[in-house]
C-alpha cells in the first residue's frame, strides 16, 4: 500500500492445492509472466530490461515444490526495489496490472471487514486455544490455562479432593474424550479453571469463542463458563487429532453470521444516511473523501476497475478508459486510503454494493 518508485507489477492467479491439477499452476503462471513481459515492453522497457525486471518470477517457474504447495490463490508484487508473493485461501481471477503502484483490491477480503474469533478445543487429555480470522488460524500458547485435566488438579491434595481418585459419585461422565470416568463435579471444576485462565487471556475483548468437544460436555462447560461471548453452537466430537485448519473450517460457518450482520448493519446505515450528505456512491466524491480520511465504511466491487487519476492538491479526479502509467484503479485507491485512515472496507461482488454502484461509502462527517 505504500507509495512505490518506478514500475510496479501486480499479478493475481487462481491455483490448485493438490492432485494432478497442480501442474496447471506452472503453465498458468508462465503465460501470465509472458503477458506481463509484453506489458513492460509496452511501457518503454527494452526486452532485456523486461526480462531482468521479471527475473525473480522467472526463477519460480522451475521450482516444482513451490507449485505443489499452493492454496487457492497466488498474489505477486514486483518492483525494482521489492519482490513479494502470498499464497492465500482466496480464489483470485487472473489479473495483471503494470502501473506506478501496487494493485491490492483483490486482497481486501483477507485484510478488512473481517472478524476475529477463538476456538477452544477441549478433552481430558488436551486443551487447545486457536486464534482465527476468516482466512487464518493459529494455535496460541496457553497462559494460566491448564493443558489437561491432570494439570488442572495437580496442585490439589489427594486428602482434600478424594473424589477425584474414587468413583463415589453416582453421576459418572465418560471420557471427556479420553475413555475414563470422572464425575460431573470434577468436570465442572476442571472447566472452571479453564474459564478462569481464559478470562484473564481475553480480558477486555469481545471476541466470539467457539467450543469444540464431545457433545455432552458443552452444557457442562456452559455451566462453568463466565465469558460473555461464548457461542451457542459448538464443533461436536473429540478433536484431539484434528488439525488447526480442520477446526477452522468447522468453526467458520458458526461465526460467519457475525461478519454478515456487521456488513448488513453497514448497508442499513448507508441507506439511512442517503440524502443527508453522509453517504454517496459518486466515485469522484468518494476518492477525495477517502484521501482526506472522511470515510467510515466503504463498499467496493471486486473484479471491477475504474482507471483514472487523483490530484491531492486540487481534489480533482479524472476518469480514463484504460490502464497506463501514472493512473490507478480509483476503486483500489479509495480502498487503500480508507484502510490507511482507519475505515472499514467491504470488498464484495458487484451486486452487493448499495445502489447497484461499483463503490459506495458512509462518511464520518
Q: Where are the domains of the chain?
A: 8-103, 117-260, 274-363
Answer with the residue of higher pLDDT: 178 or 213: 213
pTM of the model: 0.73
- Contact 324/276 with Cβ under 8 angstroms? no
Evaluate whether 345 touches 112 at the Cβ level (below 8 Å).
yes
Whether residue 279 is predicted with pLDDT greater than 90 in this model: the reply is yes
Judge if 117-260 and 274-363 fold alike in CATH terms. Answer: no
Chain mean pLDDT for the chain: 88
Burial class (CB in 10 A: 0-12, 13-18, 19+), 46: exposed
- Please check the confidence at residue 157 and state whether its pLDDT lies above 50: no
pLDDT of residue 3: 63
Q: Which pLDDT score is estimated for 173?
A: 42
Give the least confident one: 24-28, 122-126, 168-172: 168-172
Domain at 274-363: CATH code: 3.30.1330.30
Is the pLDDT score of 317 beyond 90? yes
Helix (H) or strand (E) holding 190: helix 184-201
In this structure, the strands spanning 209-213 and 117-122 are parallel
Give the per-residue pLDDT at 326: 81
pLDDT of residue 306: 95
At 218, list the grid cell. 458443552
Residue 140 sits at the vertex; the CA angle it makes with 139 and 145, to the nearest 5 degrees, is 120
Least confident of 98-107, 159-168, 303-312, 337-346: 159-168
Which has the closest alpha carbon to 119: 55, 211, 43, 202? 211
State the pLDDT confidence band at 152, using cuts at 50, 70 and 90: confident
No. of helices (H) and no. of strands (E), the chain = 11, 18
Q: If you search the block for the grid coordinates 459506495, which residue do you land on?
A: 360
Task: Provide mean pLDDT across the span 164-176.
Answer: 40
The dihedral of CA 322, 328, 332, 338: what is its sign?
negative
Q: Is the dihedral of CA 102, 108, 110, 113 positive or negative?
A: positive
pLDDT at 42: 87
| pLDDT for the residue numbered 181 | 47
Task: Please choose, from the candidates 34, 74, 33, the residue with its C-alpha nearest in 3D space to the C-alpha of residue 57.
Answer: 33
Q: Which H or E element spans position 96?
A: strand 95-99
Q: Please give the residue that has the higher pLDDT: either 136 or 251.
A: 251
Give residue 114's pLDDT: 65
Instruction: Please determine, for residue 58, whether its predicted confidence score (pLDDT) is greater than 60.
Output: yes
Contact residues for 351 (Cβ-Cβ < 8 A; gap 6+): none
Q: Hunting for cell 480514463 — which residue is that?
A: 320
d(CA 161, CA 199): 25
Least confident of 29-43, 103-117, 223-237: 103-117
pLDDT of residue 150: 79
| Contact in structure between 14 and 50 (CB atoms under 8 Å) | no
The SS3 assignment for 176 reads coil
pLDDT, greater one: 42 or 31 = 31
First CA to last CA across the chain, in angstroms? 25
Residues paired with residue 121 on neighbouring β-strands, in sequence order:
128, 212
Task: Please report the pLDDT score of residue 113 as a whole number.
Answer: 56
The domain made up of 117-260 is a member of CATH 3.30.420: yes
Percent of the chain with pLDDT over 90: 66
Q: Are 354 and 299 in contact (CB under 8 A)?
A: yes
Burial 317-339 (b: 16+ CB within 10 A, else e): beeeeebeeebbbbbbbbbbbbb
Amino acid at each position: 500500500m505504500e507509495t512505490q518508485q518506478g514500475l510496479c507489477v501486480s499479478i493475481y492467479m487462481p491455483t490448485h492445492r493438490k492432485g494432478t491439477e497442480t501442474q496447471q499452476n506452472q503453465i498458468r503462471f508462465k503465460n501470465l509472466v509472458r503477458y506481463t513481459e509484453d506489458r513492460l515492453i509496452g511501457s518503454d522497457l527494452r526486452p532485456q530490461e523486461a526480462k531482468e525486471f521479471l527475473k525473480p518470477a522467472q526463477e519460480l517457474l522451475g521450482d516444482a515444490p513451490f507449485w505443489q504447495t499452493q492454496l487457492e490463490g497466488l498474489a505477486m508484487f514486483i518492483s525494482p526495489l521489492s519482490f513479494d508473493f502470498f499464497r492465500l485461501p482466496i480464489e483470485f481471477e487472473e489479473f495483471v496490472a503494470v502501473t506506478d503502484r501496487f494493485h491490492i483490491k483483490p486482497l481486501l477480503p483477507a485484510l478488512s471487514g473481517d472478524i476475529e474469533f477463538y476456538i477452544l478445543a477441549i478433552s481430558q487429555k488436551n486443551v487447545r486455544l486457536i486464534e482465527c480470522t476468516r482466512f487464518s488460524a493459529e494455535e496460541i500458547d496457553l497462559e494460566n490455562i491448564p493443558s489437561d485435566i491432570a494439570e488442572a488438579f495437580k496442585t490439589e491434595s489427594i486428602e482434600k479432593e478424594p473424589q477425584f481418585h474414587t468413583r463415589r459419585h453416582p453421576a459418572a461422565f465418560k471420557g471427556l474424550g479420553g475413555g475414563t470416568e470422572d464425575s460431573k463435579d470434577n468436570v465442572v471444576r476442571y472447566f472452571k479453571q479453564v474459564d478462569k485462565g481464559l478470562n484473564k487471556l481475553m480480558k477486555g475483548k469481545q471476541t466470539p469463542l467457539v467450543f469444540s468437544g464431545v457433545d455432552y460436555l458443552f452444557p457442562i462447560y456452559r455451566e462453568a463458563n463466565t465469558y460473555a461471548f461464548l457461542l451457542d453452537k459448538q464443533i461436536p466430537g473429540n478433536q484431539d487429532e484434528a488439525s488447526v485448519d480442520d477446526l477452522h473450517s468447522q468453526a467458520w460457518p458458526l461465526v460467519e453470521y457475525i461478519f454478515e450482520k456487521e456488513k448488513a448493519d453497514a448497508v442499513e446505515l448507508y441507506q439511512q444516511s442517503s440524502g443527508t450528505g453522509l453517504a454517496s456512491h459518486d466515485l469522484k466524491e468518494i476518492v477525495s473523501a477517502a484521501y482526506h480520511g472522511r470515510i467510515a465504511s466503504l463498499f467496493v466491487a471486486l473484479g471491477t476497475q475504474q482507471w483514472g487519476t487523483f490530484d491531492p492538491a486540487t481534489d480533482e479526479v479524472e476518469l480514463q478508459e484504460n490502464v497506463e502509467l501514472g493512473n490507478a484503479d480509483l476503486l483500489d485507491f479509495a480502498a487503500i486510503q480508507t484502510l490507511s485512515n482507519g475505515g472499514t472496507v467491504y470488498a464484495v461482488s458487484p451486486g452487493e454494493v448499495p445502489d447497484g454502484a461499483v463503490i459506495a461509502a458512509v462518511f464520518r462527517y
